[in-house]
């Protein structure tokens, strides 16, 4: 993991979130609070705009600054969750390094664990974690097996797709969707869709590299 890659990914993620506006908004209107896309667009735009501030900074500093920015400026449920994700990644990158794929996987896993703790949610609750937890497991497992980056990227895209699809037939237990009970069945989770889009975007950058 390098600062230059993080900055390139931030630009690409913002473009991808905007490109998927219609689908993310539609999913959130169906069972969510209706503000998820707006918050995701604001967050991705904010991070992308920090390029000059973050350029040439160490990876752990970059990740922590992104987290602090999100925490101080982004509302809704997603702000504190993604802030926790980036700050935990930064802390782990500083303590354990970030040069190898296994170290990057460890930082990602720490970020996902921070979301679990902050959101008090887990696998199977129709949230973004139904994409992030399997993706973290796949990343850690394949990195530990010393698989090449492009093979890991392809596997992560597939895992993200499967995680997103798994939310279709789940009953939500968190957020507004939790009040819908069985009426939420048949709908994909908007947060899971956003995470699938972001994982695809980052993996596509790796595959093009």
Q: What pLDDT does residue 121 have?
A: 85
Instruction: Centre a 10 Å sphere on the Cβ of residue 90 and count the other Cβ atoms it contains.
Output: 25
Distance, CA of 6 to chain centre: 13
Tell how many helices (H) and how many strands (E) occur in the chain. Answer: 10, 0
User: 57 and 94 in contact (C-beta within 8 Å)?
Assistant: no
d(CA 154, CA 140) in angstroms, rounded, equals 14
Q: What pLDDT does residue 106 have?
A: 97
Q: What pLDDT does residue 127 have?
A: 87
DSSP for 114-170, written as a single string: HHHHHHT--TTSSSTHHHHHHHHHHHHHHHHTT--HHHHHHHHHHHHHHHHHHGGGP
Question: In this structure, which topology does domain 3-208 adopt according to CATH?
Answer: 1.25.40
Q: Which residues of 6-27 are buried (b: 16+ CB within 10 A; e: fewer)?
A: bbebbbbbbebbeebeeebbeb
Q: Taking the chain (209 residues) in consecutive chunks of 10 residues, what is each chunk's mean pLDDT?
A: 93 94 80 73 89 91 93 76 94 93 96 93 88 97 97 97 90 56 67 93 94
Helix axes 59-73, 3-19, angle to 10 degrees: 40
Q: What pLDDT does residue 105 have?
A: 97
Q: Is the pTM of this model over 0.75?
A: yes
């Amino acid at each position: 993991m390098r600062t230059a890659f993080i900055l390139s990914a931030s630009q690409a993620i913002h473009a991808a979130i905007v490109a998927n506006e219609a689908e993310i908004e539609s999913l959130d209107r169906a069972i969510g609070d209706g503000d998820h896309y707006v918050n995701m667009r604001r967050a991705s735009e904010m991070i992308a705009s920090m390029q000059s501030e973050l350029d040439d900074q160490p990876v752990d500093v970059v990740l922590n600054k992104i987290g602090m920015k999100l925490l101080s400026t982004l509302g809704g449920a997603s702000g504190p969750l993604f802030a926790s994700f980036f700050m935990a990644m930064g802390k782990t990158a500083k303590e354990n390094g970030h040069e190898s794929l296994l170290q990057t996987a460890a930082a990602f896993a720490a970020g996902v664990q921070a979301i679990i703790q902050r959101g008090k949610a887990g696998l199977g609750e129709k949230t973004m974690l139904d994409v992030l937890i399997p993706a973290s497991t796949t990343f850690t497992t394949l990195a530990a097996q010393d698989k090449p980056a492009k093979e890991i990227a392809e596997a992560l895209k597939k895992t993200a797709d499967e995680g997103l699809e798994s939310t279709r037939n789940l009953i939500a237990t968190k957020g507004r969707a939790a009040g819908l009970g069985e009426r939420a069945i048949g709908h994909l989770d908007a947060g899971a869709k956003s995470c699938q889009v972001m994982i695809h975007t980052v993996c596509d950058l790796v595959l093009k590299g």
